[in-house]
Amino acid sequence: MSDRIFGIFGILLSIGFALAALQIEESFLSDAVGPKAFPLIIAAILGLSSAVIALRPDPEPAWPPLGQLAEIAAAVVVMMLYAQFLPVAGFVAATAVAAAYLGWRLGSAPVEALLIGVGTSVGIYVIFHLVLGLSLARGPWGF
pLDDT tens-digit profile of 69-127?
999 999 999 999 999 999 999 999 999 999 999 999 999 999 999 999 999 999 999 99
48 with 27, same domain?
yes
50 with 77, same domain?
no
Q: 26 is in which domain, residue-wise? A: 2-55
Is the pTM higher than 0.85? no
- Indicate whether 124 belongs to any domain: yes
Q: How far apart are CA 33 and CA 3, in angstroms?
A: 35
**In 36-133, where do the E strands start and end?**
none
SS3 label, residue 114 = helix
16 with 45, same domain?
yes
Q: How far is CA 120 from CA 60, 85, 107, 108, 111, in A?
A: 37, 17, 16, 14, 14
pLDDT at 124: 95
Q: What percent of the chain has pLDDT over 70?
A: 97
38 with 10, same domain?
yes
- Indicate whether 6 belongs to any domain: yes
Q: How far is CA 75 from CA 48, 68, 81, 90, in A?
A: 32, 11, 10, 20
Structural domain count of the chain: 2
84 with 40, same domain?
no
